[in-house]
Amino acid sequence: MNSIEIKNLSLNFGDVKVLKDLNLTIEKGEFLVLLGASGCGKSTLLNCIAGLLDVTDGQIFINEQNVTWLEPAQRGIGMVFQSYALYPQMTVEGNLSFSLKNAKLAKDEINRRVKNASEILQIEDLLKRKPAALSGGQRQRVAIGRALVRDVDVFLFDEPLSNLDAKLRTELRVEIKRLHHKLNNTMIYVTHDQIEAMTLANRIAIMRDGLILQLDDPKNIYNFPINKYVAEFIGSPGMNFLQGHINNKDNVSFQIDDTLFELNGYNFQTVVEDKRPVWLGVRPENIVVNDGNKSLPVNFDVVVEVIEPMGADTLVWSHFNGHEFRFTVDGNKVINIGEKINLGFDPLHISIFDFESEDRL
């Protein structure tokens, strides 16, 4: 059963088209992450689903019901905002019960739900406090609790962790994931942080200029990005790109200047003609340092320029044929600047994009 269905949704602010004829179906219990750079329309889409913005065209269904014209409170959603948006003059308890009082629920039902939500989020001790007396992490918990008490099927998160420091962010990220396992309701989560997207999502929708570029599970998005933009956006450190063309003389190969990389094992989507200009993309973590055995199909040499130790791995910066080239090696490996290193990769783990359209080939 579908939880949310978005049909041909468009939204214009004056002449600016923020969302363009967008279609999206989200299953019940799914954790969908809307990922994109700022200004791509991801928060706008979320606001449309919440009913906080009037759409220009199209329909929105939640639980098979057309909610396009319904008020936010009638849509069966709960929402968590980046700035927490707690009511500063109310206590935590007041914040949690505000929506229930507006819905004119019975007093003991309100108490039961507030108690339940505060137990789940471990904020029972904070109920009598005002938001000003809470830390950032506690505030965001209360904000999540405010969505929780409403007992709704759909949770909307608008960059909920962006205001927190790095440590709290990872903590709350896991907590949100636990919450999802526990409640098993549909969650839509907007972020520009690819780590959050990768770790939380069942499926990720990568957005750009009001369109969804790719909608897939995190693994596929990471391994088989649909175009160069997605490939660049996902993965940290970013993917390496080499500009060259296809050489079909003997085997299908990628040629950059005089160097030939045989592409045996790469799954082309289409037949690729000789001399077609392309980008070859390979992730730093898919590069293997050859300790002389040259077992991989593709081999080449680079000179180490900068090293960035990150604990578990070390990121090495170098150049290959005029293109910046990064790769990671084990953190314990001793590498010196100026050293010449032989690298290799498996064509199975690379991406080839058309030079013009930047689409995956």
Partner 1 sequence: MPNSLDMKTTNGPRGPKPRKILSRRNIILYGTLIFVAIYYLVPLYVMIVTSLKGMPEIRLGNIFSPPIEVTFEPWVKAWAQACTGLNCDGLSRGFWNSVKITIPSVFVSIVIASINGYALANWRFKGANLFFTILIFGAFIPYQIMIYPLVILLRDLGLYTKLPGLILIHTIFGMPILTLLFRNYFTTIPEELFKAARVDGAGFWGIYFRVMMPMSLPIFAVAIVLQVTGIWNDFLFGVIYTKPENYPMTVQLNNIVNSVQGVKEYNVNMAATLLTGLVPLAIYFISGKLFVRGIAAGAVKG
Q: Can you tell me whether residue 276 is helix, strand or coil?
A: coil
User: Minimum Å distance from CB 145 to partner 1?
Assistant: 12
Least distance to partner 1, CB of residue 286, Å:
40
Q: Record the tokens describing residue 10, joined without a space.
A: 């468009």
**86 vs 252, which CB is nearer to partner 1?**
86
DSSP-derived secondary structure letter, 25: E
Stretch that binds partner 1, among 81-89, 107-115, 166-174, 237-245 (CB under 8 A): 81-89
Position among 52, 289, 296, 335 found at the interface with partner 1 (CB under 8 A): 52
Question: What minimum distance in Å lies between the beta carbon of 81 and partner 1?
Answer: 4
The answer to whether residue 85 forms part of the interface with partner 1 (CB under 8 A) is: yes
Check residue 133 for interaction with partner 1 (CB under 8 A).
no
Residue 223, Ramachandran bin (φ over 0: left; ψ between -120 and 50: alpha; else beta): alpha
**Letter for the amino acid at 309?**
P
Q: Using CB under 8 A as the criterion, what x/- string covers residues 192-231 for binding partner 1?
A: ----------------------------------------
Comparing CB distances to partner 1, the nearer of 52 and 304 is 52
Does the protein bind partner 1 through residue 73 (CB under 8 A)? yes
- Report the candidate in 186, 191, 214 with the shortest Cα–Cα distance to residue 202: 186
CB of 184 to partner 1, least distance (A): 21
Q: Least distance (Å) from partner 1 to the CB of residue 1?
A: 24
Instruction: Quote the tokens at residue 4.
Output: 């949310």
Between CA 221 and CA 341 the distance in angstroms is: 30
77, 134, 144, 164: residue in contact with partner 1 (rule CB under 8 A): 77
Minimum CB distance to partner 1, residue 172 (Å): 18
> Rounded distance, CA 152 to CA 351, Å?
41
The span from the CA of 47 to the CA of 64, in Å, is 19
Among 29, 58, 59, 72, binds partner 1 (CB under 8 A): 72
Tokens, residue 291: 């300790």
Nearer to partner 1, 102 or 293 (CB): 102
Return the range that interacts with partner 1 (CB under 8 A); candidates 34-42, 80-88, 115-123, 347-355: 80-88
Residue 79 engages partner 1 in binding (rule: CB under 8 A)? yes
Q: Does 89 bind partner 1 (CB under 8 A)?
A: yes
DSSP-derived secondary structure for 240-267: EEEEEEEE-SSS-EEEETTEEEE-TT--
| H helices present in 277-346, as ranges | none
The window from 18-26, 98-106, 119-127, 329-337 that contacts partner 1 (CB under 8 A) reads 98-106
CA 208, 212, 214, 215 dihedral sign is positive
Q: How many chain residues interact with partner 1 (CB under 8 A)?
A: 25
What tokens were used for 210? 């009001």
Could you tell me which residues come within 8 angstroms of residue 281 by beta carbon, excluding any fewer than 6 positions away?
A: 225, 228, 231, 239, 240, 241, 242, 350, 351, 352, 353
Q: How many residues does the chain have?
A: 361
Q: What are the residues binding partner 1 (CB under 8 A)?
A: 47, 50-52, 71-73, 77-79, 81-83, 85-89, 98-99, 102-103, 146, 150, 158
